[in-house]
Chain A
Amino acid sequence: MKLLGKHLDKDGSGYVTLRPDDDEDIWHLYNLIQEGDRVRASAVRRVQNVSATGSIESHRVRLNLTLAVARVTWSPSTAAAGEAASFSTDASTSTSAPAHAATLHISGRVTSENPHVKMGAFHTLDVEVNRDVRIEKDEGGWDSIALGRVEESCVPGRGAEVAAIVCGEGTATFCLLSQHMTMVMHRLEVSIPRKIAANSGAHEKGLTRFYSALFTSFLRHIPYSSPTIRAIVIASPGWVRDAVFDYIMAEATRTGNKALLSTRNKFIKVHVTSPHVHSLVEVLKSPEIASQLKETKFAREGIMLDKFFKMLGADEMRAWYGPVHVALAADRGAIGTLLISDDLFRASDPIMRKKYVQLVEDARQKNAEVLIFSSMHESGQPILTFPLDVEVVEAEEREAKEEEERRKQAEENGEDVNAG
């Protein structure tokens, strides 16, 4: 993303003009724009003119509109295709990403005067890559979280990506992992008849069919020769990954695909325990990957989350989750590391958002580490699915904490911890 202009007042009001470069930037915009903000972007609108004689003339006009945001919807690049996946699993059913990328729709009333559109008329803006967007927020709107995101998204050269194929016998999911998103590019399902004791012909035929389908999808969906791809991970339980890798290389040799052959050393085979997408978390934790991607955000998230769960198991008193518990811990300055989902900052209720922002700022002030998890990442999914959505790891002051715990217990008995 490019920052084209920025005008902020001390009270946190003002505007920022941005130009998104790729899908991930669209995701950032989705996280920045909130209900009540004013967004200015170019739009195409059909304008009708009624002449004096009553004949209607309509034409399309490209114009810049400013909306007061009422609703923001975001769809990942694969959402439409994902629906179609359903149960059809014939010889080789697959769902692929359409050519167009992620989209963001912003709807609301027009608030600026305009020769073509009346004030107060509804419009829906489609935000696309390479189109400028100006986001204007009211007082207090540009808080530390929002500004942090703008800054983060505008750092150049953050495009290091990892391609991953998570496969099992008959299933494969092609994903691209970037800083903030896990994009499922493609899902492949080939029904392979299971072995029947003596006669294995059908099974093996099915396997070959699967490998060849996988290879073609690989070529289509994984930008293997792109320099931004740092690694291509093949993950699976059992030995499927070996077979898949061998097949890809054999086919590359057979078809003389030099570009693919030269990326041979980018391939990493990782053992995971299930063929589902969520085993990407395991991929990120595996030593082969962790060492390569140590500094990247998602690797760090995976590691911290793992640490949290371990602590929850080993020493329950030091790991807490849920807004009530976390707020209490924050009050007492007991937070060592705060893990929080970005989903919370999208909360439409500004008071709620303010509360969470406050929480993060407080924690930062007390030298605690704060990790904001992306809900578009597999590693962020567990937090997202926590009904209470926030969690805290560790407090240095054990004694204080234990005392606190007793108090908490008492409180908890009284009031039901509500998810809200």
Chain B
Amino acid sequence: MSRHRDVRNINVAGKMFQALGNETRLISHSHSDELDDGAVSDGGEEDLSPQEYEQLMSGLDHIRATVGSQEQSGLSDKEIKDTLYHYFFNVEQSINYLLEAQTRKIAARERKAAKEREKAEKLAQQKKAAEASAKLPPAKPKKATGAKLSGASTPVRSTDIRQLDLAGLNLDDETVLPIDEPPPKITVAREKVLEEARKQLEGNADKKTVSLVVIGHVDAGKSTLMGRLLYELGRVDDKTRKAHERASSKIGKSSFSWAWELDGTTEERERGITMDIALQSFATPRRQITILDAPGHRDFIPNMISGASQADCALLVVDAAVGEFEAGFERGGQTREHLLLVRSLGVSQVVIAINKLDQVQWSQARYKEICKLLRPFLIQSGFHPSKTKFVPVGAMAGVNLVARDGDEAQALNAWYSGPTLCDLLDELEPPTRDLDAPLRFPVANVFRTPSSVIAVSGRVCGGLVQVGERLRIVPGDETAVVKAIESEEERLEWAAAGSNVTLHLTAVDPRHITIGSVLCPPTDVVPLVTSFTARIIVFDIQVPITAGTSVELFHHSRDVPASISKLLATLDRASGTVLRKNPRVLAKSMSAEVQITLRSTTVSGPTARAQPIPLEPFSVNKEMGRILIRRGGETIGAGIVTELN
């Protein structure tokens, strides 16, 4: 049984979900078409066709007959008309709705009998205003379709439904309108934004955005390659380069000068090692690429995981020097572990840059040998051969990154005529994004901008986020308002699933946001769990997993202590059918269903209680449902969350 079959198997569920997503998207499209027709002629009764006007008036009469006059019912003509419009002149539905609204109003009035009349009137006005603002300008017809649209794509809840829900809870006092309600301007824009985002993802936009994590064994030359690539593409100017060259040779580490562009901290520079993710971006002719330069050292794999969970594709850098490649590729080397990690985190495309070929005199034999060694492992790990590309490079000299000219490249030109690294990156395909899902934004970094605004960076994992939106911070009871969205030093109005952005937040104390928090809409909050069921694949491990094994659980940028509390069943790797219930141990390369329980981080002993973390099943949000399990500095398994308990 090979590993890749199983990974693919996991993906089947994902694809089905995707397919489902597409369907809903289609539906919503047809709606938005309707919507556009309607939108042309909006603005009030004046714009109604004569028939519609007649329908409206007769409907009004009908309803008045049922509910009584304005004094009796407390319902104004305008309200009735709006409702009628909302339900496409369907009298029955409108009456139902109005009666509901009426009883609600009465209930509210009775509750505050003491302060009553004036207040109740104000309330009614407020309510009217609420309805009006929700439906307002270019809005009335749009609102109606908007509501339907959200009905089709279940996860999104439109404002309309939310209002009804709130009303159902009898929350109608002064705070009828939760302050959480985004201003009307935004609600309207949302539809447009959705469309715009969709358009961009469908390829009508000039450049598709892809995020790329750079992985590989320690000292393979990841940061150097990136530094050089940024320079070749003009993202680093000569002045900075010279400054780095001077400073690095000053401390006797001139060979790291290219990496200094990404390794910013003093400690990283002193040790000549990347310790945390560095985020940079550049543009190729057809792609806008965000790179996440990951650390290769095994102690910093938690940081690497945090980076890899924000990426669509991977660039694997391997060292071609004799002995070095082997060291990275053998058991315990990071070449292997990183590849498995990114695959488990849903990355399916990988470009393999075979670096430092200059150290083996650009030997074609060596290049071929390395490709031959890597290929079976890639297939085994679940990378499709058509989605893995190899390219020989020399990072230090900048050979075959963007171009292959100059003296240094002569030796390579003798046998290689394929694409350059940049050409390959230009062909990366962004995966499908889930726009209809509710917003999920796992925070990878919290900091203050130079102007002292609280900023969080990370990747939008589903849905979209807009400027002005109020977001809930999970875990915790706090909310924050998005003040600005920044990506590659540009201000954006919105950001959709799959983009790596920095959000500037206001109206929040930074103590409530930590690395690992998830931002989500207040109406659709991520569940918090301390225990869940997951389907995992066990990696190549020496010591088997028993029930009770203490592990570290990785989910996006968060890592928490956990234990595998129950081994529920071992599964067939290919078909997923149950092989054995309640197995005693899990040995290497098994597939199994297990229950994972978080452990307390604060106290040990019988009274300890664990803090829950935000998590969602894979079937709900793919990116939020992937987990990694490590033990003793070694990744022992990867999996997907099937059920929260």
Contacts and interface: CB of A to CB of B under 8 A. Distances in A.
Interface residues of A, number: 66
Contact of A78 (B515, B548, B597, B603): B603
A387 B547 contact: yes
B279 A93 contact: no
Interface stretch (A198-206, A212-220, A260-268): A198-206
Contacts of A417: 582
Contact of A93 (B511, B565, B605, B608): B511
Given A89-B514, A310-B543, A376 B264 contact: no
Given A277-B561, A383-B548, A417-B582, A376 B601 contact: no
B52 interface: no
A194 B565 contact: no
Contacts of B279: 196-197
Contacts of A277: 561, 601, 604
Interface string A65-104: 0000000001110110111011111110101000000000
Contacts of B604: 182, 184, 277, 376-378, 381
Nearest to B552: A274
B299 A95 contact: no
Given A76-B603, A182-B604, A382 B550 contact: yes
A79 B605 CA distance: 10
A239 B271 contact: yes
A242 to B, nearest CB: 10
Contact of B603 (A79, A204, A385, A388): A79
Nearest to B264: A200
B566 A387 contact: yes
A90 to B, nearest CB: 3
A76 B511 contact: no
A158 interface: no
A316 interface: yes
Nearest to A182: B604
B434 interface: no
A191 interface: yes
A238 interface: yes
A134 B475 CA distance: 47
Contact of B278 (A89, A195, A204, A388): A195
A370 B606 CA distance: 22
B599 A278 contact: yes
A95 to B, nearest CB: 7
- Which one of B299, B604, B611 has the highest number of Cβ atoms from chain A below 10 Å of its Cβ? B604
Contacts of B265: 195, 200, 203-204
B: contact size bracket: 35 or more
Nearest to B297: A238
Given A187-B602, A191-B446, A196-B264, A237 B299 contact: yes
A3 to B, nearest CB: 25
Interface string A163-201: 000000000000000000110100100010111111110
A24 interface: no
A236 to B, nearest CB: 9
A273 interface: yes
B548 A79 contact: no
B559 interface: yes
A140 interface: no
A76 B548 contact: no
Interface in B556-604: 559-561, 563, 565-566, 582, 584-585, 587, 597, 599-604
A322 B584 CA distance: 9
B607 interface: yes
Nearest to A79: B607
Contact of A276 (B264, B280, B448, B601): B601
Given A90-B510, A197-B279, A274-B633, A386 B548 contact: yes
- Which one of A93, A197, A198, A313 has the highest number of Cβ atoms from chain B below 10 Å of its Cβ? A197
B607 A75 contact: yes
A89 B510 CA distance: 9
Contacts of A383: 548
22 contacts: A78-B602, A79-B603, A85-B602, A87-B611, A88-B512, A195-B275, A196-B279, A197-B261, A197-B262, A203-B264, A237-B299, A237-B300, A239-B267, A274-B302, A276-B601, A313-B544, A322-B584, A385-B563, A385-B597, A386-B547, A387-B547, A417-B582
Given A200-B265, A239-B271, A321-B584, 11 more contacts: A79-B603, A181-B605, A194-B445, A197-B262, A197-B278, A197-B280, A281-B550, A375-B606, A381-B563, A381-B604, A385-B563
